[in-house]
Structure 1
Amino acid sequence: MLAVVGMLAIFAVQNPAIAQDRNQSNELYHIFDLKTAAPKRDMIAAAGTGLKRNTSDAQTMTPIVMGTPPETPGRFTIRNPLEGGASMGGIAAMIPASQLAQFKQASCDGAVWIANALRKVRGSQTLRLTLCLFPYQQGYQLNVYGIDVKEQGGGISARLGRALAEQVVGKPDGWTEKTILDVVREIRAKTGATVSYVEGQPEIAGTPWEVPAAGVGGEGAK
């Protein structure tokens, strides 16, 4: 441990720019097709269980959606409240462009289940997700939209804390994907849904939802 602290101190002195606090914000989205005849209540229960594995805070709602499911599923839309009108535009102009994405919000009109979740690791990552479960005649589609903010730079204590956090809970990129895939894995396990990946950014390669999630049955990182 002392060796790690010493190396960080030397690196900080030699590279003063790293002592500056800075954040990197990335938008992401993923859409999964879930072909199944499972009832809505089972889908919602499974999605909620999967989400709880890795998030410290989540608010969910089940809107009333009446009538026969449509032939094609709905899709989320994105809006930025800071872009609405001249007054909001003035506020947006005061915010660095790299941080504007953090104010975007996803709308899930037509979804039978909506979740807004937060996963925060102090000094390392803040992940904000919106999940929408859209019904259609062949099953459901799960839409996921997120803002992933990674903290970078900072002084020795910030960098050491980040390194220790990564040793305990893993690197942010890995947990971002796990947080999303654990929802898909739980739905697949509980309902027998046939899962396929429709699209996303960054794209998920292969079929990782077919691999049992690490730590299934236990609590996720908080």
Structure 2
Amino acid sequence: MAFGIVAALAGSAATAQAQDKQRNSEIYHIFDIRTAAAKSAVTKAAEAGLRSNVSDSDITTPIVMGPPPEKPGRMEIVNALDSKSFGGLAGLMSAGQALQFKQARCDGAIWIANANRRVRGSQQLRLTFCLYPYRDGYQLDVYGIDSKERGGGIGAMLGRALAETVVGKAGDWTNKTILDVVRSIRNQTQATISYVEGQPEFTGTPWEENDALLPHATEREAR
């Protein structure tokens, strides 16, 4: 929780400085993972897929005792501004600033990962992964807040163009990070993956493609 709030405060400050040229969006995806693999094997595979793309991450493996439930858990999206501690602060913020305080709560998950990507003048992305066990395998829930810079002067636009040539387009990296986690689980545990739902929705089965090239070192350093 503390990790998300700190990231939200940083994102809120950035938004306040560029409200008129920043586009903020929420994303989420849910994957069904059918496999008999042990928890340790699945979480190890998930972490390997994440670390191939991210250097700034916070990973937790909570203790979840007892047999797996019949149905998987599901992440809950909460807003820290709803807490009484923040009073009427939300009313003083723009919609984009308030969005930065939303985060996923992963109660019952056996693996929780928070990852950040920051490319100055281009993108600030925060992703949360929640892995839930259940009788037939696992479910992976992903939630993210993606803030992209738009507009600005010639200098800002040239800076973003230069950043894209070095670290790639923001949307491509976002999808690659999510799919590499799913792909790593599939490849290392022989799991059968199906897409449950999401926004924006994935089409087809891109996790079955063998596009697992590692990003350039400068891309990971840009987080």
Which TM-score tier does this pair reach, normalised by the shorter chain? 0.7 to 0.9
TM-score, structure 2 length as denominator?
A: 0.86
| SS of structure 2 residue aligned to 1:154 | coil
| 1:99-138 deviations in Å (ceiling 9; x for gaps) | 2111101100000000011112221111101100000010
Post-superposition offset of 1:89: 4.0
Decide whether aligned partners of structure 1 residues 38 and 219 sit closer, same or farther in structure 2, where only a CA change above 3 A counts: farther
Partner of 1:8: none
Is 2:205 aligned against 1:207? yes
Unaligned runs of 5+ in 1: 1-18
| SS of structure 2 residue aligned to 1:46 | helix
Q: Number of residues paired by the alignment?
A: 203
Quote the Cα distance in structure 1 between the aligned partners of 2:98 and 2:52.
Answer: 29
| SS of structure 1 residue aligned to 2:100 | helix
Is 2:180 aligned against 1:182? yes
Decide whether aligned partners of structure 1 residues 220 and 178 sit closer, same or farther in structure 2, where only a CA change above 3 A counts: farther
Where do 1:72-83 residues align within 5 Å? 72-83=71-82
Post-superposition offset of 1:151: 1.0
| 1:56-81 deviations in Å (ceiling 9; x for gaps) | 30000100000000000000001111
**Identity fraction in percent:** 62
Unaligned runs of 5+ in 2: 1-17
Partner of 1:172: 170
Is 2:136 aligned against 1:138? yes
Structure 1 stretches of 4+ moved >3 Å: 216-220
Partner of 1:197: 195
Quote the Cα distance in structure 1 between the aligned partners of 2:161 and 2:207.
Answer: 28
Question: Does the 8 A contact of 1:47 with 1:187 survive in 2?
Answer: yes
Question: Does the 8 A contact of 2:167 with 2:216 survive in 1?
Answer: no
Question: Does the 8 A contact of 1:111 with 1:134 survive in 2?
Answer: yes
| 1:11-52 deviations in Å (ceiling 9; x for gaps) | xxxxxxxx9852111001000001001111111111111111
Give the aligned residue type for 2:64: V
Question: Does the 8 A contact of 1:108 with 1:132 survive in 2?
Answer: yes
Quote the Cα distance in structure 2 between the aligned partners of 1:129 and 1:196.
Answer: 20
Decide whether aligned partners of structure 1 residues 21 and 214 sit closer, same or farther in structure 2, where only a CA change above 3 A counts: farther
